[in-house]
Structure 1
Amino acid sequence: MNKETKNSPDLKSGKGDKDYSKYFDFSDAKLIREEDGKATYRIKGRTIQINAAPDYKEEKQRGKEEIKVHYDFELPEEMKQFGAGKYAYIMTYGCQMNEHDSETIKGLLEQMGYASTDDRNMADIILLNTCAVRENAEDKVFGELGHLSHLKREKPSLILGVCGCMSQEESVVGRIMKKHPFVDIIFGTHNIHRLPHLVKEAVFSKEMVIEVWSKEGDIIENLPKKREGIKAWVNIMYGCDKFCTYCIVPYTRGKERSRRPDDVIAEVRELARQGYKEIMLLGQNVNAYGKDFEDIEYRFGDLMDDIRKIDLPRVRFTTSHPRDFDDHLIEVLSKKGNLMEHIHLPVQSGSNEILKRMSRKYTREHYLELVKKIKTAIPDVVLTTDIIVGFPGETDEQFEETISLVKEVGYDSAYTFIYSPREGTPAAGMEDNVPEQVKRKRLYRLNDVLNEFSKKNNEGLKGLTLEVLVEGESKNNASVLAGRSRTNKLVHFEGPRELIGQFVHVHITETPTFYIKGEWVREQEAAV
């Protein structure tokens, strides 16, 4: 990516072929008009305006187009009080990146005058910010749309929108058009900044408005964000170029684009000034940060080293790809300070053959050597991971290789998944030949092994006193406080609510599998 520019004539839409026929059964769809690159149809009594729609082929392309950085976003004057006296309800699915996108969406809506509400019945606009990683996430969204259809009938003025990663899928957009015509807005991950314009179009035209850019847009730096709590997410890059065969993310999030170092550091400094206790640096593959810079030699390790010097209590990052986890980054993380000794390092499988079929571009041996380097440099590091079972063609022997790797690494915890095909990915064309019953049996076995290590690793903390950032009350017991240790362990203890948002010391007394319990050590005791 070239140096930043402050010129912003036209933000790139990535609009490609204007033939939208694949989204329709033209026995019930009629083209009304075409103008300015937009096509308007009539289907099942609803008029649909398509500004741009997703295209898998375009989403897969990785060209050398220059990505510009814009600093002059400004809400149109006529939209600044558009939502005055009205309420907005946002439902977020999926990863931290989606959560962070929702903060931007809430920031935009707040600038438009909307107030947030947790009661969907009060809402004048409802947006579902969606995840496309797994099939069940998609099922949840369509189930929710079914529930919201009743609310839409009761309140016709309600603006209902679907955005996020699901919106970048051709099949999803087509399904919404045909089966959920009451939806008012569909937009994707590349054009969140266009939300005010899309709301305006939907309200005044009374049409469904679809604008999903297949190609990634430029980087918009000064979008508003509505953050809450003591922790903050900071995007350092967008997109992914790894193209693992099972993963839809390179299609829904576009090619890798890194934010300029000065912009990231300025945002982190401002969050520190505002009193945030912890930040999480986000990227689909944070280790690839800076690879797209053409004018400077500056990578993720350099960024972490610079952020380490900022007066901020805690810094975390997610997520890492083993292939890009270099020695310099390990060296920087070993300096600790405000860099936490917890690393999430997805492995996905312990079998070289399955890793090859997944196109992970590393071997079991490479991964284990990386783990060895990390543990040598950071002896008290806690490692967590992601693992998929039942990938097409996975044999019992290959699954056992995953079990043996889990035992060798000794993870503290893991996100485990049964493989489910995602339309548009290479793996979706592979024969899904592992029976569902076998997949479930493998998942249960894997989780049992992981739980053994979680329990064992937790037991090693018994009797220790840990620094804990108190995040709130326990979900299951209001008289118990919950927080996180430096290694991201969930810690429960009893104490006054005034401790929420503070760092305290907790003496660990009990070590269940999924969290640890302790007693609050008052500061004068901790100092002894």
Structure 2
Amino acid sequence: MSASPQAIVTLGCRLNIAESEALRQLVTASHGGRDVAVVNSCGVTNQAVKDTRAAIRRLRRDRPGAELVVTGCASDMDRAAFAAMPEVDRVVANAAKLLPAIWGPRANIAPPRRHTRGFIGVQNGCDHACTFCAIPQGRGSSRSDPIGEVVHHVATLVEGGQREVILSGVDLTSYDDRGARLPALIERLLAQVPALQRLRLSSLDPAEVDDHLFALLTQEPRIMPHVHLSLQAGDDLILKRMRRRHTRAQAIALAQALKVARPDITIGADLIAGFPTESDAAHANTLAMVTECDITHAHVFPYSPRDRTPAARMPQVAPDLARARAAALRDASAQRRTGWLAAQVGTVQPVLIEKPGDRGHTPAFADLRLDAPARVGTIVDARVTAATPTHLIGTPE
């Protein structure tokens, strides 16, 4: 969760981060000196909904005189409950939150903000029916921004000083602009915005990584070597009950092929622990996948039942057991991450300096801290001199 000086509080996914950046511009332009606070909510798990409610209460304590607006997936899933909270002045539908008219007549004149990395939502909604997921209730069916609009948006950000752009979506690999899929978007973007130095992609569905996308991920140097896969589980029966579209073997084959074709690629993954009916053996299969796919960046969630989803009606795993299994998955990934970071000592890495204090990320998404000053927004070649379990330490060349 993050908050800005404009009191935009963001929970959840990278798409929410991208949308919150647009919200910040809209609110700033429209309201001028008025105090407006926005919570951009997440409803992916029960805990996310609880966190949203806590964020609303905290923001009201911090901004007692502000107009407090709630939007996002959680508020769409239960609009009446959020509207009834005494702290909330207004609930804005998720589908309408980026419409300038929602925020006022001057909202469309906000200037772009300067950052080193820009999150851009290019796809929204989902047409799949994973049994655990409530996001279609909050985001609707899949829809994609036109390629021309995306290219223009990225060009504007790059002209404003951004060195890196992250394309995000609820189901990014379903991107489809009148038949032009995600690889076509990427190629147009790289060709028409030659000043864009770094491009990253948010979570990819393994079932949708075709030969064209695979070639871009492994051969295009401006696409950063960090692939985050929406794996969810490593057991075939659980994947079937989740209604995922890939098998365990397919996921492992994809991760290993990516590493062979581009050895510096790091693999990230979304994993759910304690899905209904998950046995000890099924959990062991997912745990083994961390090693077999060399997952160094794991986003692990203990399963949380969501109303009106098929998985909520399946036999549940005890919450304490789900949390313990989640901890085991995190520990396994952390061990691989520690080894991966240690192996980079002595290498030279180009680091985009993103935060005061000389912190940034390498192309493979290692957190690196310089031992000498560097200007935010610059890309610095740094020789890695040490590694901790969580980050690298480097010296500018």
The answer to whether TM tops 0.5 is yes
- Displacement of 1:227: 3.2
Q: Spell out the pairing of 1:342-361 with structure 2 (5 A cutoff).
A: 342-361=226-245
Structure 1 residue corresponding to 2:282, chosen from 372, 392, 398: 398
Partner residue of 1:175?
81
Q: Could you tell me whether the CA contact under 8 Å between 2:206 and 2:251 is conserved in 1?
A: yes
The answer (yes or no) to whether the contact 1:106–1:225 under 8 Å persists in 2 is: no
The 8 Å contact of residues 308 and 337 in structure 1, kept in 2 or not, is answered as no
Asked if residue 520 in structure 1 is aligned to residue 384 in structure 2, the reply is no
Aligned equivalents of 1:125 and 1:314: distance in 2?
34
Q: 1:176 to 1:308 in 2, by over 3 A?
A: closer
**Conserved 8 A contact 1:127-1:160:** yes
Offset, 1:148: 5.2
Distance 1:486 1:225, change over 3 A: same
The correspondence of residues 248-287 of structure 1 with structure 2, limited to 5 A, is 248-287=134-173
3-state SS of 2:47 partner = helix
- Residues 108, 225 of structure 1: 8 Å contact kept: no
Identity of aligned residues (%): 28
Which runs of structure 2 are paired with 1:214-293 in the superposition (5 Å)?
226-290=112-176, 293=178
How does 1:112-151 map onto structure 2 within 5 Å? 112-115=30-33, 124-147=35-58
| TM-score, length basis structure 1 | 0.69
Q: What SS does the corresponding residue of 1:174 show, helix, strand or coil?
A: helix
Query: Does the 8 Å contact 1:468/1:505 carry over to 2?
Result: yes
CA apart distance, 1:225: 6.8
Instruction: Give secondary structure in 1 for the equivalent of 2:180.
Output: coil
C-alpha distance in structure 1 between counterparts of 2:111 and 2:171, whole Å: 22
Residue in structure 2 matched with residue 445 of structure 1 by the alignment:
328
Per-residue CA deviation, residues 69-114 of structure 1 (Å, 9 max, x unaligned), is xxxxxxxxxxxxxxxxxx9522111122112222222222222242
Residue by residue over 1:446-479, the C-alpha shift from the partner in whole angstroms, topping out at 9 and shown as x without a partner, is 2222122111111211111111111113xxxxxx
Query: For the structure 1 residues 453 and 162, does the alpha-carbon distance in structure 2 shift closer, same or farther, using more than 3 Å as the test?
Result: same
Compute the displacement of 1:307 (Å).
Answer: 2.2
Q: How much has 1:198 moved relative to structure 2?
A: 6.8
- d(CA) in 2 for partners of 1:503, 1:240: 36
Q: Is the 8 A contact 1:236 1:282 kept in 2?
A: yes
* 1:481 aligned residue (358, 363, 373): 358
- Residue by residue, what CA displacement relative to the aligned partner does 1:373-407 show, whole Å, maximum 9, x if unpaired? 32232222111111111011100000000111111
Aligned mates of 1:166, 1:135 — CA distance in 2: 9
8 A contact 1:193–1:223 mirrored in 2: no
Specify whether residues 113 and 182 from structure 1 end up closer, same or farther in structure 2 by C-alpha distance, changes over 3 A only.
closer
C-alpha distance in 2 between matches for 1:459 and 1:489:
11
Q: Does 2:16 correspond to 1:98?
A: yes
Task: Quote the Cα distance in structure 2 between the aligned partners of 1:100 and 1:501.
Answer: 19
Q: Any conservation in 2 of the 1:126–1:161 contact (CA below 8 Å)?
A: yes
More helix per residue: 1 or 2? 2
Question: Are 1:384 and 1:411, in contact at CA under 8 Å, matched by a contact in 2?
Answer: yes
SS in 1 for 2:94: coil
Question: Scaled by the length of structure 2, what TM-score is found?
Answer: 0.91
- Evaluate the alpha carbon distance shift between residue 194 and residue 464 of structure 1 in structure 2; reply closer, same or farther with a 3 A threshold: closer
In structure 2, how many angstroms separate the alpha carbons of the residues matched to 1:236 and 1:515?
Answer: 30
Give 1:505's aligned residue.
381
- 1:110 matched to which residue of 2? 28
Distance (Å, rounded) in 1 between the aligned partners of 2:56 and 2:297? 33
Tell me the equivalent position of 2:93. 188
- Provide closer, same or farther for how the CA distance between residues 419 and 312 of structure 1 changes in structure 2, counting only shifts above 3 A: same
Which of 327, 337, 357 in structure 1 is aligned with 2:211?
Answer: 327
Q: Is the 8 A contact 2:30 2:103 kept in 1?
A: no
Instruction: Specify whether residues 225 and 104 from structure 1 end up closer, same or farther in structure 2 by C-alpha distance, changes over 3 A only.
Output: farther
SS in 2 for 1:345: strand
Q: Is the contact between residue 30 and residue 104 of structure 2 (CA under 8 Å) also seen in structure 1?
A: no
How much does 1:272 deviate?
Answer: 2.4
* CA offsets 1:393-442 (integer angstroms, 9 cap, x no match): 1000000001111111111220111111112222122222x222222222
Q: 1:379 to 1:182 in 2, by over 3 A?
A: closer
Which structure has the larger Rg over C-alpha atoms? 1
Q: How many residues get paired?
A: 389
Question: Do 2:270 and 2:298's aligned partners in 1 also have CA atoms closer than 8 Å?
Answer: yes
Q: 1:394 to 1:276 in 2, by over 3 A?
A: same
RMSD: 2.3
CA separation in 2, counterparts of 1:314 and 1:197? 33
One-letter amino acid of the structure 2 residue matched with residue 406 of structure 1:
V
